Amino acid sequence: MRKKIVAGNWKMNLDYEEGLTLFSEVVNMVNDEITGQQHVIVCSPFIHLHSLVTLGKASTKLSVGAQNAHQAESGAYTGEISAKMIRSVGAEYVILGHSERRQYFGETNELLAKKVDIALKHALVPIFCIGETLQEREAEIHFDVIKRQLTAGIFHLDASEFAKLVIAYEPVWAIGTGVTASSAQAQEIHIFIRNEIAAKYGQSIADGTTILYGGSCNPKNAAELFGQADIDGGLIGGASLKSRDFVDIARVFN
Ligand code: PGA
């Protein structure tokens, strides 16, 4: 059975102390309350990573991830952080291709393909984000957009590398807006993604791929969303900044 995952994306929030306080609460709640096989991941700003990895050793159900990595191995890229650096502090995951990176930092599918390669090279698991904008949905090209993001971003991988990925479908119009995709809308895209993976890599790899939903996920709507056959968990922004809400979302899989 494929892995169920609830991943938090703190984005550019929380100073060092605030991050440690929130994470300590999450560790305690996860240890006390998570009884299923689900895995909980916290993707923090870079400044927190090392400390969170240390605190997270108290739970086998928790991992830590970054929110971005540079595409180069190392070099004269002032202000950037490499995949090797992220792995060296013990983080295990990295979000790549978040729509905010695509939108505000001009990240293209072609650039993201390079980031995916270097992350895998350094044993980081990419949480690869895809999803259409409102204009693209209204123009009814959302399936094309998603297919292109898959093809150009990750379908260059061979099957054994591809099998390591986590995918997150995040409709851009649902991120931070309070508007969630309906469970039927989300499931329709998730099965589309899984079928595309099956066509490229075969049914068994497709069936093993964890595909998360993201976009205004909260403790009230999580059970309905995660109850869909092809939704294997969530990538949680706003609600991951409150320990109670975040762990309540993860508890859906208990
Ligand atoms: P949101 O963000 O839960 O605040 O909508 C999700 C995300 O951007 O990953």
Domain ranges of the chain: 5-253
CA atoms of 196 and 204, how far apart (whole Å) = 13
Q: What do you get for the CA distance between the two ends of the chain, in Å?
A: 15
Structure-derived torsion over alpha carbons of residues 233, 110, 90, 240, reported in degrees to the nearest 10: -40
How many angstroms does the Cα of residue 178 sit away from the middle of ligand 1? 9
Question: Which residues lie closer than 8 Å to 244 by C-beta, 6 or more apart?
Answer: 29
Protein residues with CB under 6 Å of any ligand 1 atom: 9, 170, 175-176, 214-217, 235-239
CA of 54 from ligand 1 middle (Å) equals 26
In angstroms, how far apart are the furthest CA atoms of the chain? 48
Which one is catalytic: 98, 107, 132, 190?
Answer: 98
* 170 counts as catalytic: yes
Predicted local distance difference test score (pLDDT) of residue 178: 85
What does 163-212 look like in DSSP terms, one character per residue?
Answer: TT-EEEE--GGGTTSSPPPPHHHHHHHHHHHHHHHHHHH-HHHHHH-EEE
Angle at 35 between CA 55 and CA 210, to 5 degrees: 80
Our answer to whether residue 98 is catalytic in this structure is yes
Report which protein residue has its CA nearest ligand 1's atom 7.
237
CA of 142 to the centre of ligand 1 (A): 19
Residue nearest ligand 1's atom 3 by CA: 237
Q: Which fold has domain 5-253?
A: TIM Barrel (3.20.20)
pTM over the 0.95 mark: yes
Phi-psi category of 140—alpha, beta or left, where left has phi over 0 and alpha has psi -120 to 50?
left
> Is 114 exposed, middle or buried (CB count within 10 Å of its CB: 0-12, 13-18, 19+)?
middle
Instruction: Print pLDDT tens along the chain (254 aa).
Output: 799 999 999 999 999 999 999 999 999 999 999 999 999 999 999 999 999 999 999 899 999 999 999 999 999 999 999 999 999 999 999 999 999 999 999 999 999 999 999 999 999 999 999 999 999 999 999 999 999 999 999 999 999 999 999 999 999 999 988 888 899 999 999 999 999 999 999 999 999 999 999 999 999 999 999 999 999 999 999 999 999 999 999 999 99
Beta bridge partners of 66: 94
Mutate to test the pocket of ligand 1, among 68, 170, 225 (most ligand atoms within 8 A of CB): 170
Residue 134: its H or E element:
helix 134-138
